[in-house]
C-alpha cells in the first residue's frame, strides 16, 4: 500500500526554510529596533545609509559632470544652477562631492575588509598559542602602534607612491594593530573557559577551535572596533588626499578638493567648507554608529 502526499501541503524542507527566514527577519527587526531607540545611533546609521545611497546613485543625483571644466563659471557662489557653487576650474562642487562619496566608501570598505581578517587572525593566534608566538606577534604590533597612524601611512605612501590603491595598503598596514590587540584580549579570556576545555578534550584541533569557537565570539567586538575605526580611515584618507598622496587630479576626492580650494578659502568659503563638512559629518556618523553597535552587540554593556 502506497501513501500519496497532497501536493497542496508544504514540504518539510519548505517549512524549515520559511522558519529560518522568519527567525532572520525577527532578529533583524529587533536589531533595528534597538538601534532606533538610541537617537545618536539612528542618526549615524541614517547618515551612513544616505552616504551609501548617494554613492550608488551618483550618476542620477549629480547635476553636472564632476570632471568637465567651465572656465567661464569659475568660483561661483551657491545658487540654483550650482547648489554648492563651483571651484577654480568651474566644476560643480555638489557633483564632485557626490562622486567623491564613491572614493571615500571605496577606501573605507577595502580597508575594513582587509583590516578585519588580518587583525583577527593575528590576534586570536597570539592569544590562543601564547608563548613565543604571542611575544613575536605582539612585539610587531607594538612597533606599529608606537608610530602615529597618519605618520606611518605617510611613510608607506611615500614608499609606494601616490594613488588610491597605495592609500588603501598604507591605511591597512596602520589600522590592523588595534584590532589584533582586541582579538588577543578576547582570546585570552576565552581559551581557559570550560567549553573550550571540553572541546579540546573531545579531540578538536587548534585550527577547529579557533575557527569554530573563538573567532565567532570575537567577531562582535572586532566589528564594533572596525566601525569606530572608519572615522579614522576617512580622516587619514582625506589627509593623504590633502597632501597630494591619495586620489590624483582631477578625481573628486574630498581631501584633494580642500587642498585645491585652500587658496581661495577667504573669498570663496564654499570651496573648502562643503567638502570639510562632508568629512566631519560622515566621521561623526561612523562614530555614532560604532557606539550604538557596541551597546547592542556587547552583552557586558547591558
What pLDDT is recorded for position 275? 94
Q: Is residue 64 part of a domain?
A: yes
Q: Is residue 37 part of a domain?
A: no
Q: Is residue 60 part of a domain?
A: yes
Mean pLDDT by 10 residues, the chain (302 residues): 50 57 64 70 90 94 91 90 91 94 93 91 91 91 87 88 89 91 90 84 85 87 87 91 87 91 89 94 91 70 50
Q: Angle 5-7-10 (CA atoms, 0-180°, nearest 5)?
A: 95
Q: Is residue 262 part of a domain?
A: yes
- The radius of gyration of the chain's CA atoms, rounded to the nearest angstrom, is 24
Q: Is residue 35 part of a domain?
A: no
Q: Is residue 7 part of a domain?
A: no
Domain count, the chain: 1
Q: Is residue 21 part of a domain?
A: no
Residue ranges making up the domain that contains 147: 51-301
Q: Taking the CA atoms of 80, 86, 90 and 93 in sequence, report the sign of the dihedral they define.
A: negative
Q: What CA–CA distance (Å, rounded) separates 283 from 233?
A: 9
Q: Where are the beta strands (DSSP E) in the chain?
A: none
CATH code of residue 178: 1.10.3720.10
Backbone angles phi, psi at 86, to 5 degrees: -125, 160
Q: What CA–CA distance (Å, rounded) separates 273 from 262?
A: 10
Q: Is residue 26 part of a domain?
A: no
Q: What CA–CA distance (Å, rounded) separates 250 from 262?
A: 16
Q: Residue 276: which of 264, 300, 296, 259 has the closest Cα?
A: 259
Cell of 163: 594613488
Amino acid at each position: 500500500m502506497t501513501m500519496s502526499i497532497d501536493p497542496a501541503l508544504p514540504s518539510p524542507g519548505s517549512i524549515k526554510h520559511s522558519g529560518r527566514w522568519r527567525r532572520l527577519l525577527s532578529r533583524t527587526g529587533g536589531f533595528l529596533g534597538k538601534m532606533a531607540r538610541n537617537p545618536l545611533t539612528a542618526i549615524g546609521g541614517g547618515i551612513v545609509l544616505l552616504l551609501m545611497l548617494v554613492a550608488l546613485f551618483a550618476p542620477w543625483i549629480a547635476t553636472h559632470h564632476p570632471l568637465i571644466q567651465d572656465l567661464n563659471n569659475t568660483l561661483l557662489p551657491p545658487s540654483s544652477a550650482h547648489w554648492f557653487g563651483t571651484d577654480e576650474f568651474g566644476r560643480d562642487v555638489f557633483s564632485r562631492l557626490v562622486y567623491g562619496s564613491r572614493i571615500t566608501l571605496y577606501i573605507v570598505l577595502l580597508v575594513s575588509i582587509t583590516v578585519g581578517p588580518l587583525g583577527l587572525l593575528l590576534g586570536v593566534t597570539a592569544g590562543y598559542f601564547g608563548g613565543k608566538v604571542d611575544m613575536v606577534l605582539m612585539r610587531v604590533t607594538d612597533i606599529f602602534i608606537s608610530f602615529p597612524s597618519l605618520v606611518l601611512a605617510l611613510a608607506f605612501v611615500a614608499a609606494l607612491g601616490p594613488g588610491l590603491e597605495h592609500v588603501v595598503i598604507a591605511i591597512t598596514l596602520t589600522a590592523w594593530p588595534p584590532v589584533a590587540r582586541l582579538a588577543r584580549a578576547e582570546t585570552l579570556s576565552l581559551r581557559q573557559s570550560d567549553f573550550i576545555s571540553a572541546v579540546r578534550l573531545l579531540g578538536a584541533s587548534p585550527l577547529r577551535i579557533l575557527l569554530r569557537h573563538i573567532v565567532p565570539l570575537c567577531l562582535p567586538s572586532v566589528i564594533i572596533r572596525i566601525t569606530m575605526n572608519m572615522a579614522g580611515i576617512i580622516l587619514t584618507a582625506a589627509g593623504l588626499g590633502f597632501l597630494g598622496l591619495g586620489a590624483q587630479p582631477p578625481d573628486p576626492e574630498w581631501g584633494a578638493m580642500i587642498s585645491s580650494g585652500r587658496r581661495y578659502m577667504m573669498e570663496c568659503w564654499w570651496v573648502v567648507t562643503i567638502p570639510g563638512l562632508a568629512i566631519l559629518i560622515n566621521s561623526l556618523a561612523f562614530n555614532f554608529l560604532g557606539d550604538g553597535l557596541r551597546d547592542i552587540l556587547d552583552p557586558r554593556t547591558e
